Chain A
Amino acid sequence: MEYVLHLLVIISIYTILSQSLCIVAGYSGQLSLAHAGFYGIGAYTTALFSTNYGGSVSITLPLAMLLSGIIAFVISKIAVKTVGDYFIILTLGIQVVIYLLFQMSKCSVF
């Protein structure tokens, strides 16, 4: 039963993730590889706020969504300059930069 529950959670997470990618790729026709970065920003925001300031999920979840959205809005101002293959390479680059920032930040979550 435990395993089935885990499976359902994973299925739900991937559904949200693919739905969010579908909004970007489906309506604009541009595939963004920076999605993994925003996924990470959401996870890190929730984890850092709930461990350091003890906020409940009802506060940290909207906060993570808001922060991730604001960062994505700023990045989209750069990314809309390009289309097609260049867009994919640019978003891949943004993803690598976000990944490196997480990797090099000194803050410990757990």
Chain B
Amino acid sequence: MDISFLIQIILNIAHSSLIIILISYSFQVIYKTTKFFHISHGITITFGAYFTYLFSVELGLGLPVSMALAIILSTVQSLIVFSLIYRYLKDLKTSNWLILIASLGVYVVLQNLISLLFGDDTKSFRTWKVKEGYEVGGAYVTDVQLISIFVIVVLLILSHCFIEKTIIGKQIKAVSSNLSLSSLLGISANNTTKYSFAIGSALASCAGILIAAETDMTPTMGFNWLLYAVVAMIIGGMGKMRYLILGALLLTTAQHLSAYYLDSKWMNATAYIILCVFLYFKPYGFSGNKLKKAEL
């Protein structure tokens, strides 16, 4: 194993683990307030990419305008799903795993809608010329990778500051730590959940656009990335940002090594085998936060 290969694999791991961290963080913002797995988050990722394709290639708007429109529309989509389905099910006091199955159903319906409208083949909004990329110590890194690393770091810092500093963010934290106490203090759980859905979906659609800029889009792309993000979240434990980063790094390192030594087909299986091992030996993840979910 020579040094240029090592640099290359580190660059790839950094790029894909940052995408997983972004999706995982956006998923976690929603999960902490609502306490159920929002599987149709995966379709928000796909919608971000496909709306950008629709506006920039088929309607001929500029790329920045279509990206902004795509982020807004994906956010609106997830808010519609929340107010039409999840809020209704929450009012019925259904158990959390029923809502998970409902969200899986929403995911399948919306994914088939995308397949109907755009077709199952790979689409791309890349109109710029494909360049060779910069050489860093024998390894190659492309413009898109550099831009996405920069954008993700900025987005993560901004959203972290938003959650920690602003009033809306503090309300989200209050609702996620204790629902009944926060409603006693006059914080509307419904509005706060809507805010958390909006923040999470906007971040997820940004991730979708960045993935599509790197590796193009298919209607099923969101689900795999979402499941990686969920695995990273469970490995890291539902704690602070640093545990999330640790979980995502472990996951992507294992995936890239298995793709190198075995085959790239084994990347999915590696993720789940790691998940099984972690849930067996360390059910609370790195952070060790005791969740009710993992207790028996």
Contact = CB atoms under 8 A, between A and B. Distances in A.
Interface of A: 30-31, 78, 80-90, 92-94, 96-97, 100-101, 103-104
Contact of B96 (A78, A80, A85): A85
Given A82-B283, A84-B97, A90-B276, A100 B294 contact: no
Contacts of B96: 84-85
Contacts of A90: 275-276, 279
Given A83-B293, A85-B100, A100 B268 contact: yes
B269 interface: yes
A85 B36 contact: yes
Interface string B148-176: 00000000000000000000000000000
Contacts of B266: 100, 104
B37 A82 contact: no
Interface in B257-278: 263, 265-266, 268-269, 271-273, 275-276
A95 to B, nearest CB: 9
Contacts of A86: 234, 279, 283, 293-294
Interface of B: 36-37, 96-97, 100-101, 227, 230-231, 234, 263, 265-266, 268-269, 271-273, 275-276, 279-280, 283, 293-296
A93 B272 contact: yes
A78 B37 contact: no
B296 A83 contact: yes
A78 B281 CA distance: 9
Contact of B37 (A85, A96, A104): A85
20 contacts: A31-B97, A81-B280, A81-B294, A82-B279, A82-B283, A83-B295, A84-B293, A85-B37, A85-B100, A86-B279, A87-B97, A88-B37, A94-B272, A94-B276, A96-B269, A97-B272, A100-B268, A100-B269, A101-B269, A104-B266
A4 B234 CA distance: 47
A78 B36 contact: no
Given A82-B283, A96-B269, A89 B276 contact: no
B230 A89 contact: yes
Contacts of B279: 78, 81-82, 86, 90
The dominant DSSP class at the A interface is helix
Contacts of B295: 83
A100 B97 CA distance: 25
Nearest to A90: B279
Contacts of A94: 272, 276
B259 to A, nearest CB: 13
B294 A97 contact: no
Nearest to A75: B276
Nearest to A87: B97
Nearest to A84: B293
A107 B120 CA distance: 29
A89 B231 CA distance: 9
A31 B227 CA distance: 18
A29 B67 CA distance: 43
Given A88-B37, A89-B230, A93-B272, A31 B101 contact: yes
A87 B280 CA distance: 12
Closest 5 CB pairs of A and B: A93-B272, A100-B269, A85-B37, A84-B293, A97-B269
Contacts of A31: 97, 101
A97 B97 contact: no
A93 B276 contact: yes
A88 B37 CA distance: 10
A105 to B, nearest CB: 12
Nearest to B283: A81
Nearest to B265: A104
